[in-house]
Amino acid sequence: MKFVLFSKHWPGLSVAEMIARTQAAGADGMDLAVRAGMAVNPENVTTALPAALREVRAAGLDIPMVTTEGNFIDPTAAASEQLAAAMAEAGVKIAKLGYWPYRVGETPYWETVTRIRRALEGFEALARRFGITFCYHTHSDYFGLNAGSMITLLRDRDPRYIGAYLDTGHLYYCGEPFAMAADIASPYLTLVSFKDTFFKRQNPATEELPVWRRTIVPAGHGVVRWPDVMKTLRRVGFDGTASVHCEFTAPTPEEFAALQKREVAFLRQRYADAAS
């Protein structure tokens, strides 16, 4: 399995600076955020993505995937074809799509499912043209928030071009065991993202009803059952890319960098342990 760092934490940094931080963390490469304010962004992706991949590979690393903006959900938009063409030119095989939001009492659920399925059909055609794969991510508060709901969106799509991207933290929020999620999504499972989490109480214990906030913490400090996650990935034969999200906080940039290094090492060890 390839462990890559999500580069969204490094806005404004050059590719060379991101390479140095990736190497310091001991990761295999980057989950490259192609977003506004990043070294590779929607405005320069045509030339910047191939150049970035050459620079990254020269350093002994890789960019097996890119992450788009959250509103990247229209296969007919010029930016969608532009990204797909840049990926094909560069040799980057996988892109994470944006999200379709759900708002209680406002979003017509099944009408939106039909619209999403139509959009994914368009992304499948685009991916087929350029020889890449678009993936949809399990993220709480959006359509496809767990594998059980995502499979409704992905069903009948070609898994060579449309994939599932399972997130350990968001699956916990949405109440779906990782092993079940992997079984449901197995025909489409293309990417995984690793994060640990728990619910932290926000109001005083003296108040009768608790108010909880989702909190992301370093791996091993939350409720994700890492031995189960890694054994499941080995059981289903997943040997692809794992994006290490590192969406926790730290008092200083130096402490955050140290936590990133610890995160990569922790997850590698849990994956190695699952082989026995």
The class level of CATH for 2-273 reads alpha beta
Q: Is the pLDDT of residue 193 over 90?
A: yes
* φ/ψ (deg, to 5) at 38: -100, 165
Which residue, 109, 90, 98, 114, is CA-closest to 40? 90
Q: Is the pLDDT of residue 54 over 90?
A: yes
Would you list the domain boundaries of the chain? 2-273
Say if residues 29 and 2 touch (Cβ distance below 8 Å). yes
Q: What percent of the chain has pLDDT over 70?
A: 100
At 244 the pLDDT is 98
Tens digit of each residue's pLDDT (9 = 90 or more) over 32-49: 999 999 999 999 999 999
Model confidence band, residue 276 (pLDDT cutoffs 50, 70, 90): confident
Model confidence band, residue 64 (pLDDT cutoffs 50, 70, 90): very high
- SS3 string, the chain, reads CEEEEEHHHCCCCCHHHHHHHHHHHCCCEEEEECCCCCCCCCCCHHHHHHHHHHHHHHCCCEEEEEECCCCCCCCCCHHHHHHHHHHHHHCCCEEECCCCECCCCCCCHHHHHHHHHHHHHHHHHHHHHHCCEEEEECCCCECCCCHHHHHHHHCCCCCCCEEEEEEHHHHHHCCCCHHHHHHHHCCCEEEEEECEEEEEECCCCCCCCCCEEEEEECCCCCCCCHHHHHHHHHHCCCCCEEEECCCCCCCCHHHHHHHHHHHHHHHHHHHHHCCC
State the chain's mean pLDDT as an integer.
97
Model confidence band, residue 271 (pLDDT cutoffs 50, 70, 90): very high
Burial status of residue 161 (CB atoms within 10 A of its CB: 0-12, 13-18, 19 or more): buried
At 42 the pLDDT is 97
Q: How far apart are CA 71 and CA 56, in angstroms?
A: 27
Tens digit of each residue's pLDDT (9 = 90 or more) over 210-228: 998 989 999 999 999 999 9
Residue where the block lists tokens 């390839």: 2
Model confidence band, residue 209 (pLDDT cutoffs 50, 70, 90): very high
The pTM assigned to this predicted structure is 0.95
Say if residues 99 and 137 touch (Cβ distance below 8 Å). yes
Residue 220: CB atoms within 10 Å: 14
Q: Is the pLDDT of residue 159 over 90?
A: yes
At 143 the pLDDT is 97
